[in-house]
Amino acid sequence: MLHMILLILKIIGILLLVILGILVFLPLCLLFVPFRYDAKTEGKNTDWDLRGGVSWLFYLVSVKACYIEKQFSYEVYLFGIPVLKLLSKFKKRTKSNRGEKADEPEKITATKEEKPEEIPVSKEHKPEKEDSDGKELPQEEDRKPLPEAPEIPAAPGTDQKGAEKDAGASEEESSILERILSVLQSVIQIPSKICCAIRKGYAKIQSWKELLHSEEVTHLKKTAVLYLKKIWNHSKPRMVEGSILFGFDDPALTGELLGGISVFYALLPRRLVITPDFQEQRIEGQLHVAGRIYGICFLTWVLQILFDKKTIPAVKHLMNKEDK
């Protein structure tokens, strides 16, 4: 009995250690295993095809996308298995199974015998009503309507109605005068409103100038430029190769563009070949770009910003100014 209890405890301990190892291993992999990206393009003139993807942990998880013949598609792979395709197949199967189940009751009802149609029974003609002497009474449709009573002509207007009309006319005149006065007042107030709007706009511009030239904003600018440079230097493509052939109708334009490219020739990758064509207008070629990104670098930069004694207080100070 004691041996069985120890064996069960041993199995539970091994399972807990495996779960703990997975929980520790996955964050370490996310930090120290790079995310690799890859992009390819090739084409001629206006017809270009694009392919790209991101992979992690030796293609354990990868996402691929492509734009071919003006159609975009993407796929997610887990252990090399296309996840989205499997999900779409599973949904189609479930829909087909539901459709078959829905068709079964229809087939059963179609096999049932049809009920005979009931023949409507014609209603008997109702006799006309008779009075106590046995004479037939006229129906409601044959009865003639009674003549309406003549309308009594209205009495002539009195002096009160004239007084009411005079009062209404005076009220209309007073309302028109009030409207004219309100319009004049609004027209007079237009220059003062314009001056107030100009003053408010000028005050806002001055406040924004002071804010942009303040110490907090200058510090935030410097930190943003510094970390953007770090991100670019870390995540820029490590491999760029390909060949590009370009040309214009006018050979002078081709030469001018080639001269502009030659200024940055030292910065261009060695495996990238650029060839001008001075005879016809065209652009064609192929390009392959690849690189990697480490999660630990982004984590260190975020921690540096959070523990910086100037950055977070500057952000809080700016937010308080905006609230005011």
Per-residue pLDDT tens digits for 129-175: 444 444 444 444 444 444 554 444 444 444 555 556 666 667 777 78
- What does the pLDDT read at residue 45? 86
- Residue 66 corresponds to which amino acid? C
Scanning 33-158, the segments in alpha helix (DSSP H) are 83-111
Res 166: pLDDT: 64
Cβ–Cβ < 8 Å for 61, 77? yes
User: Residue 297: which residues within 8 A CB-CB, separation 6 or more?
Assistant: 230, 234
Q: Which amino acid is at 111?
A: T
For residues 228 and 176, which has the higher predicted lDDT (pLDDT)?
228
> Rounded mean pLDDT of 114-142?
46
Residue with more model confidence, 289 or 270: 289
Of 95, 39, 33, the C-alpha closest to 59 is: 33
Percentage above 70 pLDDT, the chain? 77
What percent of the chain lies above the pLDDT cut of 90? 42
- How confident is the model at residue 31, as a pLDDT? 92
C-alpha distances (whole Å) from 44 to each of 48, 78, 290 are 6, 34, 22
Give dist(CA 121, CA 112) in Å, integer.
Answer: 27
Task: Please state, in angstroms and rounded to a whole number, the distance separating the CA atoms of residues 240 and 285.
Answer: 13
More reliable by pLDDT, 307 or 125: 307
Find out whether 66 and 51 touch, Cβ atoms under 8 Å.
Answer: yes
Q: Are 57 and 29 in contact (CB under 8 A)?
A: yes
pLDDT digits (tens, 9 = 90+) for 62-71: 999 999 988 9
Q: Give residue 315's pLDDT.
A: 84
Question: What does DSSP assign to residue 136?
Answer: B
CB 246 within 8 A of CB 281: no
For position 311, what pLDDT does the model report? 86
Position 125 scores a pLDDT of 44
User: Sign of the C-alpha dihedral, residues 49, 53, 59, 62?
Assistant: negative
Q: What is the pLDDT of residue 172?
A: 75
Decide which of 269 and 323 is more confident.
269
For residue 108, what pLDDT is reported? 57
Q: What is the mean pLDDT of the chain?
A: 81
CA distance 221 to 218: 5
Kindly state the average pLDDT of the residues 14-23.
93
Q: For position 168, what pLDDT does the model report?
A: 65
pLDDT of residue 122: 44
Q: What pLDDT score was predicted for residue 2?
A: 82
User: CA-to-CA distance for 27 and 237, rounded, in angstroms?
Assistant: 25
Strands 47-56 and 71-78: unpaired
Upper half-sphere CA count for residue 141 (Cβ side, 13 Å): 1
Tell me which residue has tokens 């007084």: 163
* Other beta carbons within 10 Å of 185: 9
Question: Which range is most confident: 31-40, 202-211, 263-272?
Answer: 31-40
Q: Per-residue pLDDT averaged across 297-302, rounded?
A: 94
